[in-house]
Amino acid sequence: MNEVYARNKIYITHTEQDVLRHKKIYLAGCGIGSNIAECALRLGFENFTLVDGDRIELSNLNRQNYDFKDVGCYKTDSLMNRLMNINPFANVKTITSYLTTHNIDDSIRDHNIAINALDFQSETPFIFDKLCQEKYRIPVLHPYNLGWATLVFVLMPNEPNLSIISTDYRGFEKKVVSFLIEKLEENTKVWVQDVLSEYEEKWQGQSPPQLSIGSCLAAGVCTNIMYRLATQKSVRSFPDFYFLTIER
């Protein structure tokens, strides 16, 4: 398989490539996680646990890493097949169910990095973070698709968590955007605020708008962070963050 990664030369050393190959990634949520998984696989990560109970819908195809033929299939199954078609030597496990307070602790252990791409429809994302940070001491990445941009938080073991933003899961994504707006430079803040205001005015209660741009940017940013964590390089940890935008 060394030939697969031959063009990673200069950017990634042979030693680092071997480190990536053995790191275990726990991916909770295969929506935006589907883009992240493929980018990480192509960089050289080869061990994944994919967790999601969702089936693919037509409305997913504008931004998630699935094909028309996948509609109606479980995201975990389709994503596993896609990854294995790229690298048949990868080790990809699937858990085709939603994480809940009853099963969330069963499968996290023995992983090196976790990605929390769960929907904030219950307390589960907060519990997931707490288990990773306090019990298993695993760094957790939180990626967000902001249309023309991505936002990624990195929660390190026993360091601050998202309770700084809010302890209530209801409307949490909007609270995240408000948290971001307070810290952005003025020229970027304007369009982010405009999108949030229009959403609150016209589309309140509906799924937030997302673009393929945001998903692809999130994949690149998260994969870079995972590379840095795996090779013991420094990362920006929460409440600091990664924000990458291609302004409209």
Nearest to 146 by CA among 68, 214, 240: 214
Q: How confident is the model at residue 105 (pLDDT cuts 50, 70, 90)?
A: confident
> Is pLDDT at 138 greater than 90 in this prediction?
yes
- Rounded to whole angstroms, how far apart are CA atoms 95 and 205? 29
Burial, 204: exposed, middle or buried (Cβ in 10 Å; 0-12, 13-18, 19+)? Answer: exposed
What the block records as the tokens of 31 is 């929506």
Cβ-proximal residues to 1 (8 Å cutoff; 6+ apart), any chain = 87, 89
Strand-pair category, 149-155 with 140-145 = antiparallel
Torsion 119-122-124-129 (CA) sign: positive
> Is pLDDT at 102 greater than 90 in this prediction?
no
What the block records as the tokens of 99 is 């994480």
Can you tell me the mean pLDDT for 215-225?
98
Task: Go through the domains of the chain in sequence order and give each one's CATH number.
Answer: 2-169+210-245 (3.40.50.720)
The model's pLDDT over 151-204, given as tens digits with 9 standing for 90+, comes to: 999 999 999 999 999 999 999 999 999 999 999 988 889 999 999 999 988 888
The model's pLDDT over 6-19, given as tens digits with 9 standing for 90+, comes to: 999 999 999 999 99
Q: Report the range of poorest mean pLDDT among 19-28, 210-219, 239-248.
A: 239-248
Q: How confident is the model at residue 1 (pLDDT cuts 50, 70, 90)?
A: low
Contact 172, 119 (CB under 8 A): no
What the block records as the tokens of 225 is 């962070």
Nearest to 245 by CA among 143, 151, 141, 117: 151
The model's pLDDT over 37-74, given as tens digits with 9 standing for 90+, comes to: 999 999 999 999 999 999 999 999 999 999 999 999 99
Percent helix, strand, coil in the chain, to 5, is 45, 15, 40
Q: What separation in angstroms does the CA of 69 have from each of 73, 89, 94?
A: 9, 24, 20
Can you tell me the mean pLDDT for 99-103?
89
> Is pLDDT at 4 greater than 80 in this prediction?
yes
